[in-house]
Chains A and B, each alone.
Chain A
Amino acid sequence: MGHEWDFAFLLEQRQFILRGLMGTLYLSLTCIGAGVALGLVFATARLSSFAPLRLIGTCYVEFFRNIPALVQIFWCYFALPILTGMQPSVFIAAATAISLYAGAYLTEILRSGIQSIEMGQWEAARAMGFGYFGQMRYVVLPQALRNVVPPLTNQIMEIVKTTTVASTIAYGEILYSAKLLSDQEFRPIETYTAVGLFFIVALTLLSFASNLLERRLRCYG
């Protein structure tokens, strides 16, 4: 197996690769933001004292958590347009599917974080005159988020990796760029190795930042 490794063409095509990187970054940030927002809304619903809201929260989680991300993307991109007569862009389809998918997991993470805060904290805030949102915003959520930094980081890393699935509907993220490049240059070994290395580097940095954050937050615990 005398393969001669040559990464030089990657440098020549750096504009092209950069566009893929930006695609990954853009889709990741959108899905993380939307996923966390969905997670907050549905975690609150799942903890509501109003039974129908709890049911809606549970249904959301069980529905979107149990359908593979790839199936959801295909459904949004190929099935939904037939039903509605409107074709979403690849970005909209991918972002919607991955956000809903990730949101289901984030709901459970945030719910466990909120539940880890003792009743006394809610009560102290309520006794001061804070309404539900004030109690949540100033007292419970800051502590809950601190408690779930490790699982939250895990899930965010998972989202970043899941964005590669969007390459299947030709959204221009890093894996899609790599596939085009490798077909053009006949160098799949170098291209896919580079993609793997990119994720290792990016996600290691992310987990490093998360550890740092965790340590900083712990100093007052």
Chain B
Amino acid sequence: MDEVLRVENLHKHFGALHVLRGIDLAVRKSETIVIIGASGSGKSTLLRCLNFLEMPNEGRITMEGKLVGRETRKPGVMSYSTRELNALRARVGMVFQQFNLFPHMTVEGNVMIGPMKLRGMSEAAARKLAEENLQRVGILEKAKEYPARLSGGQQQRVAIARALAMEPSMMLFDEATSALDPELVGEVLLSMRRLSDEGMTMLVVTHELGFAYNVADRVIFIENGQVHEEGTPQEVLLNPKQERTREFLRSHTLFRLPEAAS
């Protein structure tokens, strides 16, 4: 089975505000998709609908070939059971802008709690798994520290390890570097790139166009709750077809350093 996720005609309203207006999206295994777009365009909401932190109002989501929820009498409107959603969330890793590490647990404890309490793993097995995943994001030496003693970049890498320890079939990154000091952004992007190279299926919402260009298999530009343009990084970022995409990219690349003469 090649397709990890399929989204069909996804809609989300917040009261009168129509945030997502019919999103279609298919994600293949091992693919890295970067979602770009202006603030308020709906890109974070889209990500949060995929693991049901926000409930979609309409549309079908298929995870690993299995339709999530049950059809109701209204066409396109689904009903979901809590149990099904909890099971789904355990298979979809999420990394937040604000890290959201658990401050009362050590780094290791943060990574171990999911496997122990949700996957019924023994403490020893969970510790081993935590070590492997902390190693993966290069932060094993901080295993016994509490999150408060870590820099933002280190905390975010722990958050990545915490999500990885659930051995998800897909990872969602919601502006994972937006809250970081500029000099800490690189280490987190590097960890994400390694994951992508290892073949993790990833959906990444970010403003880091350089990351999108270098790591993404596909780039999606979201505008006004719809997929406005979609294609390879070269197509979308260098030769955008849509005027709105060009405008967005111009505002992002207004000031650039010249190439240093070598």
Interface residues of A (CB under 8 A from B): 120-121, 123-131, 134, 138-139, 142-143, 146, 220-221
Task: Say what secondary structure dominates the interface of chain A.
Answer: helix
Question: Considering the chains assembled together, what is the distance between the CA atoms of A139 and B104 in angstroms?
Answer: 8
Known pairs A143-B104, A220-B103; A130 contacts B146 (CB<8 A): no
| Chain B residues within 8 Å of A131, by CB | 82, 86
User: When the two chains form their complex, are residues B86 and A121 in contact, meaning their CB atoms are under 8 A apart?
Assistant: no
Q: Which 9 A-B pairs have the closest CB atoms?
A: A129-B90, A124-B100, A220-B146, A127-B94, A120-B100, A129-B89, A128-B114, A129-B118, A142-B104
Interface centre among A123, A124, A126, A127 (most CB of B within 10 A): A127
Q: In chain B, residues 93-118, which have Cβ atoms closer than 8 Å to a Cβ of chain A? A: 93-94, 96, 98, 100-104, 106, 113-114, 117-118
User: When the two chains form their complex, are residues A128 and B96 in contact, meaning their CB atoms are under 8 A apart?
Assistant: no
| Chain B residues within 8 Å of A120, by CB | 96, 98, 100
| Chain A residues within 8 Å of B117, by CB | 130, 134, 138
User: When the two chains form their complex, are residues B86 and A130 in contact, meaning their CB atoms are under 8 A apart?
Assistant: yes
A-B pair count, CB < 8 Å, reads 66
Interface centre among B100, B146, B166 (most CB of A within 10 A): B100
User: When the two chains form their complex, are residues A126 and B53 in contact, meaning their CB atoms are under 8 A apart?
Assistant: yes
User: When the two chains form their complex, are residues B86 and A127 in contact, meaning their CB atoms are under 8 A apart?
Assistant: no
Interface size (B, Cβ < 8 Å)?
Answer: 30
Known pairs A129-B118, A134-B117, A138-B117; A124 contacts B96 (CB<8 A): yes
Interface residues of B (CB under 8 A from A): 51, 53, 82, 86-94, 96, 98, 100-104, 106, 113-114, 117-118, 146, 148, 159, 162-163, 166
Known pairs A138-B117, A221-B103; A123 contacts B166 (CB<8 A): no
User: When the two chains form their complex, are residues B94 and A220 in contact, meaning their CB atoms are under 8 A apart?
Assistant: no
Cβ-defined partner of A126 (8 Å) among B89, B98, B163: B89
Cβ-defined partner of A127 (8 Å) among B51, B101, B103, B146: B51
User: When the two chains form their complex, are residues B103 and A129 in contact, meaning their CB atoms are under 8 A apart?
Assistant: no
Known pairs A142-B104, A220-B103, A220-B104; A128 contacts B89 (CB<8 A): yes
